[in-house]
Structure 1
């Protein structure tokens, strides 16, 4: 059995209902910061366990869980005389599979009104108990926020029956290896994982050994002498003042014992090793080992590619039969786990690489730059490295020396694969400028990009003017419609000669030089102290 779909409403960054279909096995969720990756994992875990950040949420409700826009609409309506109903957080999980456990959860009590198996976790106004008190509060006009004290959290099945986490057949384990909480020098995350790994008898044995150690400390005669001196020196009370250790807690060993790795305290080993150990320990814990859904938050934190590769291999080898949902920023993780499993988030929009027409291209794309466009705030797509350098320098000249990436704009060299990248950009509504040569046929360029002519996200930048001339190279006409000759057209030989470190005597001689030294030309322009003029189509692109 597995989670086939999750629907989230008014929870954290999600306002109107957000829907995400999930694969049966591996799901790799990618997105920029604040795109909602972590919220999805938290929502799934919350609906299955009732826990948020390791604590039962029902008794720790806060208005900060609600989407800010939903809060604002509600608060603004309170002053209109026609207040909106108090907003509610809803998390729906649709289950797939077979078995009597799922049959008991089956019904049409879901937002889609279809017969399905699943659960609904809801944080909503408790009308049965607080209707009169709430209406009286609204009439006073003093209500300026969500009345969270009148709310309750409930879990029900699609069959409209109240549930507890124990009644839900799908179990989840949420693992965030980057978290670090120390108490008395011990990492609580590790201590609690170790506690879960141990059997009850083993935990009792450790607790007894720890108690004997503390009792020996209390009975030490040196401690008695020290306490006498404290009482005499402090003079803060007429009663006896002393120091000791806490003997009251049966689980005190969890926070007072130190975890060592090769005789080195855990918190002093490398952050990468800490992440690997925490993740592996968490996955081996009895409760998590029994989980059918593994939720892993950014496993790449602090890890080199080698260590990350090792962790991913262990994860897929040992838990590949389970449903695994990973959030990541890493192209390495996405490529290593397979782009068929990749889900890209952006401003509530969802794109699956496997569903794009250009799917095969992205799967075969060399290196690990697949996600640059998806993670960029904006992007400028260029044909090659020379274009990339010139566009970046043009941007810097127009923006007080700032590189495009400093403003969230990634300049990406895509060769001739513009249309493939534009499909992804259009799906995710990523503002993109395409910088391309007209190659002597402006009409052909316009025709190639007809599908994006009215796009609100794609800006096509090319020179509509086709230049010609008598220059030939080995009997073939010289192409006057690429970047280098357009740069010469926008400037002149007297400007470019000193920048390029040449003494060409004619424009054709300079054209041939720039044609034969494209990279050197672009590097010289990028690093020059002298500013130049740029063709209009490049100026248009940097105004993205």
Structure 2
């Protein structure tokens, strides 16, 4: 199994390190955070190949971290002949008798451990050409990869091959799995499992018989009669139509997978994606120690995604798995404790979550946990009415801008599961999280005390309506604005306070939407404004 990876100057990573879980690693992060790059780097370290081709054949200036390239070019223009950037990927393997031959300290950590290294470095054979190239630094725009070489080494400094590494990886990416029109892996899988040898012979004979009778069809006879008489400027031989029945063209090229009588290529994208991943799992996992899965949720509905995640979990039980995802469902089902939030230099793990919180989100996997993980600033609310009013508060305080426009995510936790989300926030000190909650007729200090163990963290704050006589959001809005203002905002004409409050409580979301859209000046309760300030 893999224990960790260290990367220098490869794609988005200038200097990066990540320790691996021996079982499951769920990689998440913003766009361009490097999720796919990690999978790519693992595959490179174990196979020496990039997208199925040897790396030396696909070397590109754009594989290098652009800051490293810019600094090198700036140094050349300043008259300093500094060495050009190198790409290094160090992949550490767990110590075992099988990996002992790869042990050494030839790695970025200088640790005496087993592992393999991909190094993209200037080839000394081209030193003269390189020196000539940099004599005109004003013309240097990109790394001259034509003067580079790729080294694939063990940590002891010796070269390796695919056979000398006692670990294999399979990358499964539905977007890049192409099932052909004939008998591809899907058909072969069915035939191998369900057909005996004599049944395959019968299938071959039946298919050949159908092709042989093609030319005997009355319409084909007439067409061929016409073609025989057609003049030809190319050949004096007769032109006719028939199906190739030579040995080279067998039934494999003509039989197409059908699902519910539809040819595979006409089946929905979700069904295709699921089929591709499951078939790739069946095909590749048996021979792999490490399974890399790229965004399995693409094109899938929740029920189908649930089946797929269950299949991945069951199939890969005894293997080390790496999954990239943008789906909270995938994350919750496979375990928040396996999450790795990627930054430019490392991965933050949530493996210190309380067991109860992990189980909670596995059972109730519809929660948007990934939104909290990825948001730098978020406000947690109890329901959709609170969500709408908080958005209006933010717009009033920030020139009409929605929270999302300022990088703030308003997350409806659907009830009182704040503490479950705050367990996550405690492990993400760089993410600012504010909680907005009702006092429910209690002193604000009493409500705040429930969260005292969380609010000790500098990135977490809790905001409660002060007056316990105004228990929930609607009374708090009424206290801050009065009947006339709210009647105008809601398009109502209630003549008593009780009637207005009764209406707002019975029509919470409708009332909140009316306030969100109203042209009236709305005074927001202080605790709502404090929550917006806390994350702004």
Output aligned runs, 1:229-240, within 5 Å: 232=233
Contact 1:343-1:353 within 8 A present in 2 as well: yes
Find the counterpart in structure 2 of residue 491 from structure 1.
481
User: Residue 176 of structure 2: SS of its match in structure 1?
Assistant: coil
**Structure 1 position 46, deviation (Å):** 1.3
Contact 1:380-1:435 within 8 A present in 2 as well: yes
CA distance in 2, matches of 1:432, 1:372: 12
User: Residue 5 of structure 2: SS of its match in structure 1?
Assistant: strand
Output aligned runs, 1:110-189, within 5 Å: 110-126=107-123, 128-141=124-137, 142-179=139-176
* 1:57 equivalenced with 2:47 (yes/no): no
Contact 1:5-1:19 within 8 A present in 2 as well: yes
Contact 2:339-2:350 within 8 A present in 1 as well: yes
CA distance in 2, matches of 1:246, 1:130: 53
Find the counterpart in structure 1 of residue 328 from structure 2.
331
Quickly say closer, same or farther: Cα 1:194–1:179, change in 2 above 3 A.
farther
User: Residue 178 of structure 1: SS of its match in structure 2?
Assistant: helix
Find the counterpart in structure 1 of residue 469 from structure 2.
478
**Structure 1 position 123, deviation (Å):** 1.9
Output aligned runs, 1:354-393, within 5 Å: 354-356=351-353, 360-365=356-361, 366-369=364-367, 370-376=369-375, 378-393=377-392
Gaps of 5+ in 1: 469-476
**Structure 1 position 416, deviation (Å):** 7.2
User: Residue 92 of structure 2: SS of its match in structure 1?
Assistant: strand
TM-score by length of 1: 0.76
**Structure 1 position 245, deviation (Å):** 11
CA distance in 1, matches of 2:132, 2:508: 75
**Structure 1 position 64, deviation (Å):** 1.7
Quickly say closer, same or farther: Cα 1:230–1:40, change in 2 above 3 A.
farther
Quickly say closer, same or farther: Cα 1:416–1:308, change in 2 above 3 A.
closer
Task: Note the alpha carbon deviations across 1:78-115, whole angstroms, 9 max, x for none.
Answer: 2111244221222111111422x311111122222222
CA distance in 2, matches of 1:523, 1:336: 33
Task: Note the alpha carbon deviations across 1:296-320, whole angstroms, 9 max, x for none.
Answer: 1111222223222222333332331
**Structure 1 position 138, deviation (Å):** 0.9
Find the counterpart in structure 1 of residue 19 from structure 2.
21
User: Residue 29 of structure 1: SS of its match in structure 2?
Assistant: strand
**Structure 1 position 61, deviation (Å):** 0.9
Find the counterpart in structure 1 of residue 99 from structure 2.
102
User: Residue 67 of structure 2: SS of its match in structure 1?
Assistant: helix
**Structure 1 position 399, deviation (Å):** 7.0
User: Residue 139 of structure 1: SS of its match in structure 2?
Assistant: coil
Find the counterpart in structure 2 of residue 314 from structure 1.
311
**Structure 1 position 168, deviation (Å):** 1.0
Find the counterpart in structure 1 of residue 39 from structure 2.
41
CA distance in 2, matches of 1:14, 1:195: 45
Task: Note the alpha carbon deviations across 1:56-90, whole angstroms, 9 max, x for none.
Answer: 22211111222222222222222111244221222
Output aligned runs, 1:407-418, within 5 Å: 408-414=407-413, 415=416, 417=418
Find the counterpart in structure 2 of residue 353 from structure 1.
350
User: Residue 43 of structure 2: SS of its match in structure 1?
Assistant: helix
Gaps of 5+ in 2: none
Quickly say closer, same or farther: Cα 1:155–1:424, change in 2 above 3 A.
farther
**Structure 1 position 534, deviation (Å):** 2.4
* 1:525 equivalenced with 2:515 (yes/no): yes
CA distance in 2, matches of 1:30, 1:299: 13
Find the counterpart in structure 2 of residue 430 from structure 1.
431
**Structure 1 position 275, deviation (Å):** 1.7
Task: Note the alpha carbon deviations across 1:323-355, whole angstroms, 9 max, x for none.
Answer: 121111222222222333222334545332222
2:494 to 465, 485, 503: 503
TM-score by length of 2: 0.77
CA distance in 2, matches of 1:516, 1:116: 66
Task: Note the alpha carbon deviations across 1:238-271, whole angstroms, 9 max, x for none.
Answer: xxx9999999xx8999988744445432211122
CA distance in 2, matches of 1:269, 1:443: 54
CA distance in 2, matches of 1:269, 1:294: 27
Task: Note the alpha carbon deviations across 1:271-314, whole angstroms, 9 max, x for none.
Answer: 222122212222232x5421111111111222223222222333
**Structure 1 position 479, deviation (Å):** 4.8
User: Residue 265 of structure 2: SS of its match in structure 1?
Assistant: helix
Quickly say closer, same or farther: Cα 1:368–1:38, change in 2 above 3 A.
same
Q: Between Structure 1 and Structure 2, how many residues are aligned?
A: 514
Quickly say closer, same or farther: Cα 1:254–1:305, change in 2 above 3 A.
same
CA distance in 2, matches of 1:65, 1:187: 37
**Structure 1 position 431, deviation (Å):** 4.5
Contact 2:426-2:454 within 8 A present in 1 as well: no
Contact 1:195-1:254 within 8 A present in 2 as well: no
Find the counterpart in structure 2 of residue 474 from structure 1.
none
Contact 2:470-2:476 within 8 A present in 1 as well: no
* 1:8 equivalenced with 2:4 (yes/no): no
Contact 1:11-1:89 within 8 A present in 2 as well: yes
